Amino acid sequence: MTPAQDRLQFVALDVMTDSRDALVEMLKTWTTAARRLTAGQDSGPEDTGEAAGLPPSGLTLTVGFGPTLFTTPNGDDRFGLASRRPAPLTELPPFPGDRLDLAISGGDLCVQACANDPQVAVHAVRNLVRLGAGVVRVRWSQLGFGRTSSTSTAQATPRNLLGFKDGTANLKAENSSALDQFVWVGEDAAAWLDGGTYLVTRRIRMLVENWDQMPAPDQEAIIGRTKSAGAPLGQREEFDPTDFNAVRGGQPAIPRNSHVFLSHPNNAGTAILRRGYSFVDGTDGAGQLDAGLFFIAFQRDPERGFVQVQRNLSGDALNPFVQHTSSAVFACPPGVRDADDWWGRTLFEA
């Protein structure tokens, strides 16, 4: 719920050791380094040095544990954690239209580094990976720029690469009751995760060349908002009430297959805290931009959060213009409480 920064370095990692002690020691080392990094210091001895002289730039670091840390795909319980895997922590189900690349999906662990300077975020991830040498290795990573969500009422709503304001109705840090209802895990899942949350990532490629051929009124009908002001169709301003009963020209002002109609909490039946970023990763073999949205969402239960919303979007008019190419889910433990606490203590010492 920290106000979203402008830059992202996200990394998913595989655990290479079968030693529980080595994994715990790495998490303790990571926590010590994270305290220094978020304070604008180096990570400790042997720091790689590329962030020397740079301020903290609002750096935050978040870790998560994937389903495969608890039980491998072969059913092995490498670290004695299988009985502590919360029931909601399962791989996401397949969705219509998925084009997932397994090489950039999943992971035993993840680290999300957000900062207002990309070098600060990259430096943080690079040094955590360095400190985990021999214990973990990178499975996949994603750079992101230009936040596509507002997580605080003080932030203006940003635009995604489709040119529309994104995240107008996103949950905000100031709405603590909504966060308790939709984001923070309670004792209903697993005692060690009480106060934590679940993180879902999706790499969503946008077929921007095809989108750019659509006239603006058609784009607005697909999204359900005006392109300039970001207002719900039938309204004038971004934060005007979303009126799904409004009629324009004898038809619903907000089409029933628009993205806004299908994803709105009133119709999806749930809410998630989005924290996504845009990406441009060069071009494909056809000379088209490999660009889009690295979608990040936090929720109390993935099945009743992202999965429920995504199923509701099966008939989304936006679907012909997007491709989901990567998918992952992680359980994020509660934040460290004091100078002696460390990432994952509640899990490994439970």
pLDDT one-digit tens code per residue, 307-324: 999 999 999 999 999 999
Question: Is pLDDT of 350 > 80?
Answer: no
Helices marked H in the chain: 20-37, 67-70, 118-131, 176-182, 208-212, 216-223, 259-263, 265-268, 306-312, 345-348
Q: How large a percentage of the chain has pLDDT more than 90?
A: 97
CA-to-CA distance for 115 and 113, rounded, in angstroms?
7
Position 139 in a domain: yes
Closest CA to 259 of 322, 332, 333, 347: 322
- Give the DSSP letter string of 177-218: HHHHHHTS--TTT-GGGTT-EEEEEEEEEE-HHHHHTS-HHH
Domain presence at residue 317: yes
Residue at 90 is within a domain: yes
Indicate the burial class of 311 (C-beta count within 10 angstroms; 0-12, 13-18, 19 or more): middle
Per-residue pLDDT, 181: 95
Domain range for 38: 7-348
Distance CA 7, CA 29 (A): 24
The predicted pLDDT at position 9 comes to 98
pTM of the model: 0.97
Say if strands 247-248 and 251-252 run parallel, antiparallel, or are unpaired: antiparallel
Give the mean model confidence (pLDDT) for residues 267-292. Answer: 96
Model confidence band, residue 341 (pLDDT cutoffs 50, 70, 90): very high
Q: Do 272 and 299 form a contact (C-beta atoms < 8 A)?
A: yes
pLDDT tens figures, 169-182: 999 999 999 999 99
CA 260 – CA 317 distance, rounded (Å)? 10
DSSP reduced 3-state for 321 = helix
pLDDT mean over 235-262: 96
Based on the structure, what is the number of domains in the chain? 1
Q: Is residue 251 situated within a structural domain?
A: yes
Q: What are the tens digits of pLDDT across the range 136-163?
A: 999 999 999 999 999 999 999 999 999 9
Residue 2 counted as domain residue:
no
**pLDDT value at 23 more than 80:** yes
Query: Residue 1: inside a domain, yes or no?
Result: no
Residue 266's pLDDT band (cuts 50, 70, 90)? confident
Percent of all residues in the chain with a pLDDT value above 70, rounded to a whole number: 100
Residue-wise pLDDT tens digits, 180-198: 999 999 977 799 999 999 9
What pLDDT is recorded for position 187? 79
In a domain, 189, yes or no: yes
Give me the pLDDT at residue 61, please.
98
Closest Cα partner for 345 from 30, 101, 110?
A: 30
Query: What's the chain's average pLDDT?
Result: 97
Q: How many residues does the chain have?
A: 350
User: Does the residue 53 lie in any domain?
Assistant: yes
Q: Give the DSSP letter string of 47-71.
A: ---TTTT---TT-EEEEEE-HHHHS
More confident residue, 219 or 187: 219
